[in-house]
Amino acid sequence: MKPETLNFFDKVYDIARLIPYGRVTSYGAIANYLGAKRSARMVGYAMNASEGKEVPAHRVVNRNGLLTGKHHFDGTNLMQQLLENEGVKVVENQVQDFDALFWDPAKEL
């Protein structure tokens, strides 16, 4: 299908939904897969608008594995709870074993 078929946001949601259970990825990885490596901020921006949609935004963190978007969730530790519920260890808003749990759509897909 044409790239124009889906909006940038929709593409982001599509990728986010493909993130395997118990895995995490970075905004940059998604942006890179979409061909907009420099638009990592847009990915986060899209996530902000993902509320109300079935998108595992909690599986998306920044390149450091830091839960930079946890403040956008209802509670203060909801994002962390969701990740830990999937077996992902989180300490101080930071994903443990991030390199091992990292899921790159450009490589895994």
Partner DNA sequence: CTCTTGACTGAGG
Partner DNA sequence: GCCTCAGCCAAGA
Residues that bind DNA (CB under 7 A): 7-9, 26-29, 36, 38-45, 47-48, 50-51, 57-58, 60, 62-64, 68-73, 79
Closest approach, Cβ 81 to DNA, in A, equals: 14
Which residues are CB-neighbours of 64 under 8 A, at least 6 positions away? 94, 98
Is the CB of 20 or the CB of 74 nearer to DNA? 74
Closest approach, Cβ 73 to DNA, in A, equals: 7
Is the CB of 51 or the CB of 97 nearer to DNA? 51
Closest approach, Cβ 98 to DNA, in A, equals: 11
Whole-number Cα distances in Å, 94 to 28, 64, 72, 77, 84: 17, 8, 16, 12, 11
